[in-house]
Chains A and B, each alone.
Chain A
Amino acid sequence: MAARHSGIVRGTHWVTTLCFLALLVTGVEILISHPRFYWGETGNVLMPPLFTLPIPASRGSVPTGYSFVLKDQNSWSRSLHFQSAWLLLFTGLAYTLSGLATRHFRKNMLSTAGPYNPAQRRTYLFVVFALFPLMFWTGLGMSPAFVSAFPAAATLFGGQQSARTVHFFATVLLVAFLLGHIIMVYRAGFVSRTRAMITGRAPAKEDT
């Protein structure tokens, strides 16, 4: 049986890919302006960090142990980060609503008769319904304006610095998922699987 991806799944997959890469690169740029993490509401260089990444920083105000300061890229990184987040939000909503309407989740991700094994099903559902919402939640938990209207965005995790730290760990999990995903695509036939996600057609012989 050739498992074909619907047009909406293919379209949202690639827009999500684009947004995720933009969010990752700009997220790293924002992070290196202060590569220290804290727990609770507040955190700064006068306070002991929860942990520090052993990398140089893009601002001279942070002690890193390195004798040089990287180029500061926060301005455009922040703008691109939030613009990509907006596009990802709309894409995610389109994907989720259409997935519910077409019973995509029920047929392909919840059912044992679908194309994926149990570990894949659990992982996809975790990424779609836990990790991505968590990224939005903790991202908004760092926004002073959003938190003024919805304090829970920060307080659920114990404060704005906690939200920032959880945002970082959720990113690590998403990057781990991306690597695992690419390895599995590679093992299943990189060209045919990628073509299937672009055109929706897959040669039957390479389907397992």
Chain B
Amino acid sequence: MTSRRKLITTGLAAATGTSGLALAARLAGQHGLLPPPCGGFFAPGEVLTYGAQRLLTRHSLAREFDRSQISQPSYANGRPPQDEAFLRLKAGGFTEWRLMIDGLVARPASYSVADLRAMPSRSQITHLACEEGWSFIAEWTGVPLSHVLELAGAAPQARYVVYRSIQPRWWDSVDMADALHPQTLITYGMNGGELPVGHGGPLRLRVPRQLGYKSVKFITHLTVTDSVKSFGKGMGSFAAERGYSWYNGI
């Protein structure tokens, strides 16, 4: 029943499809549209989502809201660290808290919260949505990550910024599109006051174009790198090691 013509057509279609996919993957890689190695069954979906959203959101800003839309009270998820080191820092008003920046930078540095507060600040009223489904709106104040990267002199070959929390299991990374995005802030303030411990105080990285788990609390360490392979299991984040996608703009 299967005619020779049908067989040839199918073969040609398959060959075109395969080489088309290979070409698409190469082009995507050249234009920074591929996420860090994700592999496995879900790789096609991850690559499509990341690539499509990087193209669509090249110049987009997360929506900013009116002051009247701020959620009162704002919901703080999870429990802050209970270990002695954190409690001691907290008792001291976090004056001893340090944020280190190293990796592919000309000038590695270590900043106190006061150092960061003295830098140019930005405030924005944005939505924080959790992958569970809940959300709230708050005003976040902080220094743009791009400013700190500029001070440190990030190298041109930088592709990711890895950020780590005082809670060792929480770490993540963003690509340079998000790291240099004007709304990506190292926040120290919320709704006009200091950033509460429940929301990640004294310092939380806010990435408002991605879901909540990308906005890691209690950050202590930034590392600029050209590859995430040498961090943890090489998947770019703690969330990815637990099966969650590294990119979560959706």
Q: Is the CB of B71 within 8 A of A44?
A: yes
- Complex CA–CA separation, A92 to B136 (angstroms): 34
> A74 contacts which chain B residues (CB < 8 A)?
131-132, 244
Given known A82-B45, A83-B45, contact A144–B71 (CB-CB < 8 A): no
A residues at B contact (CB < 8 Å):
30-31, 33-34, 36, 41-47, 59, 61-62, 74-76, 78-80, 82-84, 86, 140, 142-151, 154, 160-161, 164
The stretch of B59-67, B95-103, B116-124, B139-147 that contacts the partner chain: B59-67
Given known A34-B133, A42-B136, contact A146–B249 (CB-CB < 8 A): yes
Given known A144-B127, A144-B210, A148-B61, contact A44–B44 (CB-CB < 8 A): no
Interface size on B, residues (CB 8 A): 40
Q: Is the CB of B45 within 8 A of A42?
A: no
Given known A83-B45, A86-B45, contact A149–B60 (CB-CB < 8 A): yes
- Complex CA–CA separation, A138 to B21 (angstroms): 29
> B46 contacts which chain A residues (CB < 8 A)?
79, 83
Q: Is the CB of A78 within 8 A of B209?
A: no
Q: Is the CB of A41 within 8 A of B65?
A: yes
Q: Is the CB of A78 within 8 A of B131?
A: yes
Q: Is the CB of B249 within 8 A of A42?
A: no
Q: What are 21 of the A-B contact pairs (CB < 8 Å)?
A: A34-B130, A34-B132, A34-B134, A41-B127, A42-B135, A42-B137, A43-B133, A43-B135, A44-B135, A46-B75, A78-B245, A79-B42, A83-B44, A83-B45, A140-B250, A142-B250, A145-B60, A145-B209, A146-B56, A146-B57, A160-B129
Q: Which of B114-170 contact A (CB under 8 A)?
A: 127, 129-137
Say which residue of A33, A79, A145, A146 sits within 8 Å of B133 (CB atoms): A33
> A145 contacts which chain B residues (CB < 8 A)?
53, 56-57, 60, 209-210, 249-250
Say which residue of B69, B73, B133, B211 sits within 8 Å of A46 (CB atoms): B73
